[in-house]
Amino acid sequence: MKTVMRGVALAAATALALAACAAAPEESDTSSAGDTATDSTTAESIDYTACIVSDAGGFDDKSFNQLSYEGAKKAAEELGAQFREAQSDSETDFQPNLEAMVSEGCNTIVAVGFALSAATVESALANPEIGYVLVDDAADNDFNGEKDAENIKPLLYDTAQAAFLAGYLSAGYSQTGKVGTFGGQPYPTVTIFMDGFKQGVDYYNSVKGTSVEVVGWDGKDGSFTGGFEANDEAKSIAAGIIDQGVDVLLPVGGPIYQSARDAIADSGKDIAMLGVDADVYNTDPSVASLLLTSIMKNMDVSTYEAIMAAGEGNFDPTAYVGTLANDGVGIAPLHDFESKVDPALMTEVDQLKQDIIDGNVTVTSYLSGS
Amino acid sequence: MSAESPEPKEQAVAASDDTTAASTEPASSGGDRWREAYFRIISGGWAVSLGAVILAVLAGSLMIMVTDQGVQAALPYFFARPGDTFAAIGSAVGGAYAALFRGAVWDFRADDFAGAIRPFTQSLTMATPLIAAGLGVALGFRAGLFNIGGKGQMLVAAAAGGWVGFGVSMPFPLHMIVAIVAGVAAGAVWAGIAGVLKAFTGAHEVITTIMLNYVAFYLVSYMLATPGLLQAPGSSNPKTPPMQDTAVMPDLLGPRYNLHWGFVFALIAVAFVWWLLNRSKVGFEYRAVGENPDAARVAGINVPRTTVSVMLVAGGLVGLAGVTQVLGTVTTGFSYDIDAGIGFDAITVALLGGSQPIGVLFAAILFGAFKAGGSVMQAAENVPIEIVTVVQALIVLFIAAPPLVRAVFRLPQPGARWTRSSRKEVAA
C-alpha cells in the first residue's frame, strides 16, 4: 500500500508540474482566488439569495428539474444574487434539504416537482418570511382547492393547450389516419399532454370531417410504461402502438422518447415523433430528424420570472398557470419538418392558437377551470 | 490492517501454508475460500474500520479539491504563486468539511445551545433506520447469510405500517404499536420467503433477496398508483395520505427537533440483538450455523429451521427501519423511494460495524451524520452530495478490498493468526 501511495503521489506531482507552468494573474484578486469569486466579479451584487431543491431526478434530468434550475440560475446571475442548490436523492432528503436552505438564509426557495409538495408546505408554514416557488404542483395536499400555505407560489402549466395544437397538427400531417401516444405513469402532469393531444385530433376531425384515430389514449385511460425509464418495457409499448399503423407518436415522460426512437428505428417505417417539456430538437440532437415538433412547458421562463420578481422585492405568491396566452406553454418550430408540412396546415395551427387564446376554442383540462 | 503490516516473506509463506491447511480441513473446499474471505471481512477489527473511514475521507478531500473552481483557477500558475493554490485547497476542503460538521454535529453559527445541538439530533434521526436495518444485515452476516433484500423488506414494511398508520383508526399508543408490529411482520415475512427458499430448496439468498426487491418495488408502485390501496384519495399522484396523528411516533425532544421515538426503538433493537447473539441459545445456533453449517448440523442444530428464523428476525429488524421512516421521519405520506437506499447503506453499516450490534450503532450514527451533513455541505458550499456517497462507497472498498482481492487471486492470506484467534473467541 505504501508503494501504491507513493505511485499516486508521484502521478499527482507530475500532473501538478505539467499543469503549473502558467503565469499568475497580475492584478489585485490575490486574496480571493479560493472562495468568493462571485463577490468580486459581480459589481452590483445584492443581498438576496435564491435557492433550488430538486426532486430525485436531479438537475441533469433533461426535464423539469433542469429547466427550472436553468431559469433560477439565470435569474440569480442577472440579479447578482447568491445562488444555492441542493439535489435530493430520495424523499427523505426533501425536508433536510429545505431546512438546510432555510438555515443558509435563502430568500426564495424553488422546490421542483409534486413530490416536494408536502415538505414545501411544511417548510413554508414554519418560515413565513421566505418565499417558495413550487414547480408543477398546486401545493394543495388536502385537496380543498386552495393552496396550503400563503407564501408558496405554485407554477402550473396548462399543457393541454399546447398539446391541442400538436394534436391538430399531427392529425393534419398523418397519412395513415392514425396517431399514437403513450405515457410513463398516469399522473395528471402526464395525462394532460395525452388528453390535449386527443382533443386536438378530435377537433381536427370535427372541422375537416375526417376520422383520424388516436391510439394509446381514449380520454380516460391509455398506454403507460409504468415508469420513467427508457427501457425495454417502454420500447415494447411503443412498438405495440406503431404496429397499429400510426405515423405520428407522442411519448410523454422524461427519457421514454428514447425508447420510442429505438422502436421507430426497428419498425423501419417513416414515423414522426413529438417531443415534450423542452424543444427536444435542441436538447437531444439524436432524435432531431424524427421530430415533427415539441410540446413545450416553458418552466425555465416562468421560474426565471418568479425569481427576478422576488429578487427585486416583488415576490407574488399567486399561482402562475402557463398557457398559450402567456407563452408558458407552446409548440416548438418544425425545424427539419418545415418542408414536409403543408404551409396551409401551419396557418391553420397559428389561427387555432389565436382562437384558443381568444377563447373561441375551448381546451379542457384539470387546470382550465381555475 | 493486514496490508499495512508487511511481514517477512518466510513468515508470510508459512502463514499461507497454515491457511491452506486450515482451509482444506472441511469437506467442501469450493466455497471455502469465499467463506474464509467473508469472515475476514465481517470480523475485521476496529483498526480496519477506522482506517477505512480515514482513507475514504482523505480521498473525499482529494475529490473536493480537484472539482473546486477556485483550485482549478489557481492551479495553472502553481509555480508562480503556490500560496494561491494552497489557499484555494484549504478553503475548498476546509469549507466543505466545516459545513459537514456544522450540518452533522454542532452548528457553531447558532445563537444558543438548543440550536447548536440540533444538527446532532438530525444525524441521530438519519441514523435511526440505518441502525435497525444495519442490525438486520449484521445478524444475517453472523449466521452466514447475505441479506441484500433490505430495500424490498423496507418497502413492504413501510407499505404495511403506513397502511395501518393512515387507514385504520385507533387510540394513540395502540395505533402506533399496531402499525409498528404490522411493518415489522411484513419485513419479516418478506425476508422469510428468501429464508424458506434457502432452507428447503437451496436457492441462494443473494439472488432471492435481490429479486424480491423488484417484486416489492413494483408491488408497492402498483399499490401507490391504485385508488383504494395506498394512493391518497382525491389525488392521482403516486403518494399515500399523511399518517394519522395517533400512529405517528412522538418527538423525543420536543417539536423543535425531528428526532422521534424511532431512535429509542432502534436502541432497544441494538440491546435485543446483542442479547440474542451473545446470551441466548438461539443466537448461539445462529453463530454456529454461520461458522460452519456442516458442523452445526452434526452437532444437532436444525440448520434449515435456523436459516428461516435468522431471516425472519433480520427481516423484522429491517422492517423496523421501514416503519420508522413512515411513522417518524416522513409522516406526510410516502412514495416508492421511501427506502432511500437504506437497504443497501445498511450493508455498508454492518460491514463497518464489524457485524457487532454496538459497532453497527456507531457506524450507523457516522453514516447518519454524513447524510445530515451532506445536505448542509451541498447547500452552503455547493459541494455535490455525490461526494458523500463516494466516501461511503470508498469505506466499503477499503474494508472489503484487502482480504477479498487475495481470495479472488488466490494470493496468500497473511494474518491467519487473528482469524483463528477470533474464531476461538467466537467459540468461547
Is there a single domain that holds both residue A51 and residue A145? yes
B4 touches chain A (CB under 8 A): yes
Please give the interface size between A and B, counted as residue pairs whose CB atoms are below 8 Å apart: 144
Q: Which residue type is seen at A179?
A: V
Q: Under a CB-based contact definition with an 8 Å cutoff, are residues B336 and B155 in contact? A: yes
How close, in Å, is residue B365 to chain A by CA atoms?
16
Q: Which residue among A136, A157, A178 closes a domain?
A: A157
User: B84 to chain A: which residues are within 8 Å by CB?
Assistant: 24, 30, 33-34
Residues 55-94 of A with CB under 8 A from B: 56, 84-87, 89-93
Mean pLDDT of B4-31: 43
Site from A26, A35, A127 to mutate, B interface, most B CB atoms within 10 angstroms? A35
* Number of domains chain A contains: 2
Q: Which of A199, A340, A200 is nearest to A272 (CA)?
A: A340
Per-residue pLDDT tens over the stretch B194-243: 999 999 999 999 999 999 999 999 899 889 888 888 888 877 778 889 99
Contact across the interface for A34 and B92, Cβ inside 8 Å: yes
The pLDDT of residue B25 is above 80? no
Q: Across the strands, what pairs with A155?
A: A135, A320
Q: Give me the mean pLDDT over the A152-164 stretch.
A: 93
- Report CB contact under 8 Å: B325, A24: no
pLDDT for B425 equals: 46
Q: What is the pLDDT of residues A221-252, one digit of tens each?
A: 888 887 777 888 889 999 999 999 999 999 99
pLDDT of A14 strictly over 80 = no
**Same domain for A62 and A73?**
yes
Q: Do B391 and B57 form a contact (C-beta atoms < 8 A)?
A: yes
Residues A64 and A195 placed together within one structural domain of the fold? no
- Kindly indicate the confidence band of residue B31, based on its pLDDT and cuts at 50, 70 and 90: low
Residues A50, A72: contact at Cβ < 8 Å? Answer: yes
pLDDT score recorded for residue B68 = 83
Q: ∠B345-B104-B135 over CA atoms, to 5°?
A: 30
Distances (CA, A) of B281 to B200, B270, B284: 23, 18, 5
Q: Nearest CB to B333: which of A118, A143, A227?
A: A118
Are the beta carbons of A187 and B71 separated by less than 8 Å? no
Supply the CATH number for residue A82's domain: 3.40.50.2300
Q: In what order do the strands lie in the sheet with A248-252?
A: A213-215, A178-183, A248-252, A272-277, A291-297, A329-331
Q: Tell me the C-alpha distance between B379 and A104, whole Å.
A: 7
**Three cell numbers written together for B33:** 475460500
Distance CA A198, CA A221 (A): 12
A269 and A146 within one domain: no
Do residues B324 and B157 make contact, with C-beta atoms less than 8 angstroms apart?
no
Q: Is A369 within a domain?
A: no
Does residue A318 fall inside a structural domain? Answer: no
Residue B96 contacts residue A35 (beta carbons within 8 Å): no
Same domain? For A116 and A144 the reply is yes
- Residue A186 near chain B (CB below 8 Å): yes
For CA atoms B34, B39, B45, B49, the dihedral sign is: positive
- Closest partner residue to A34 (CB to CB) among B79, B88, B235 is B88
Query: What pLDDT, on a 0 to 100 scale, did the predictor assign at position A263?
Result: 93
Residue A306 counted as domain residue: no
Domain assignment of residue A136, given as a range: 44-157
Q: Which chain B residues have a beta carbon less than 8 Å from that of A115?
A: 237, 239, 335
- The pLDDT tens digits for B154-188 are 999 999 999 999 999 999 899 999 999 999 999 99
The yes-or-no verdict on residue A201 having pLDDT over 50 is yes
Task: Name the residue in chain B with its Cα closest to that of A100.
Answer: B376
The residue ranking higher by pLDDT, B115 or A197, is A197
State how far the Cα of A115 lies from the Cα of A134, in Å rounded to an integer: 10
**Stronger pLDDT, B28 or B349, i.e. the higher one:** B349
What pLDDT score does B7 carry?
41
Query: What average pLDDT does this structure show over A51-65?
Result: 83
Cell of A277: 417539456
A49 with A88, same domain: the answer is yes
In the stretch 298-327 of chain A, residues with CB closer than 8 A to chain B read: none
Terminal CA-CA length for chain B: 24
The H or E element containing residue A276 is: strand A272-277
Residues A353 and A228 in one domain: yes
Nearest CA-CA distance, residue A66 and chain B, Å: 16
pTM: 0.76
Question: Do the Cβ atoms of B77 and A20 come within 8 Å?
Answer: yes
CA angle A295, A299, A304 (to 5 degrees): 145
A286 lies in the same domain as A175:
yes
- Residue B412 confidence (pLDDT): 52
Q: Are residues A71 and A186 in the same domain?
A: no
Higher-confidence position of B222 and A31: B222
Q: What percent of chain B has pLDDT over 90?
A: 46
Q: Residue A273 phi/psi, 5° resolution? A: -120, 155
| Structural domain contains residue A18 | no
* Alpha helices per DSSP H over B105-237: 113-116, 118-142, 150-167, 172-201, 205-224
* Rounded average pLDDT over A144-164: 89
Res B277: pLDDT: 94
Same domain, A232 and A277: yes
A287 within some domain: yes
Pick from A157, A192, A225: which residue ends a domain? Answer: A157
Together in a domain, A214 and A352: yes
Q: Tell me what pLDDT residue A6 has.
A: 62
State the cell numbers at B77. 500558475
Interface of B with A in 218-277 (CB under 8 A): 218, 221, 225, 233-239, 242, 258
Same domain, A263 and A187: yes
Q: Touching check for A18 and chain B: CB below 8 Å? A: no
Residue pair A162/A196 in contact by the 8 Å Cβ criterion: yes
Q: Inter-chain contact A186–B236, Cβ cutoff 8 Å?
A: yes
Distance from CA of A223 to the nearest CA of B (A): 14
Question: Is A366 within the bounds of a domain?
Answer: no
Contacts of A85 in chain B (CB under 8 A): 378-379, 382
Q: CA geometry: angle at B99 spanning B95 and B100, to 5°?
A: 120
pLDDT of residue B417: 45
Mutate to test the interface with A, among B7, B101, B337 (most CBs of A within 10 A): B337
Indicate the pLDDT class of residue B23, thresholds 50, 70 and 90: very low
Helices A343-358 and A159-173: crossing angle, nearest 10°? Answer: 150
Is the CB of B340 less than 8 angstroms away from the CB of A93?
yes
Nearest CA in chain A to B102: A100
- The region of weakest confidence among A171-180, B290-299, B309-318, B419-428 is B419-428
In this structure, chain A runs to a length of: 370
- So what's the pLDDT on residue B403? 64
**Mean pLDDT of chain B, nearest integer:** 83
Last residue within a domain, chosen from A157, A180, A214 = A157
A146 domain-assigned: yes
Residue A179 lies inside a defined structural domain of this protein = yes
Q: Residue B84: which pLDDT band, with cuts at 50, 70 and 90? A: confident
**Selected residue with higher pLDDT from B69 and A135:** A135
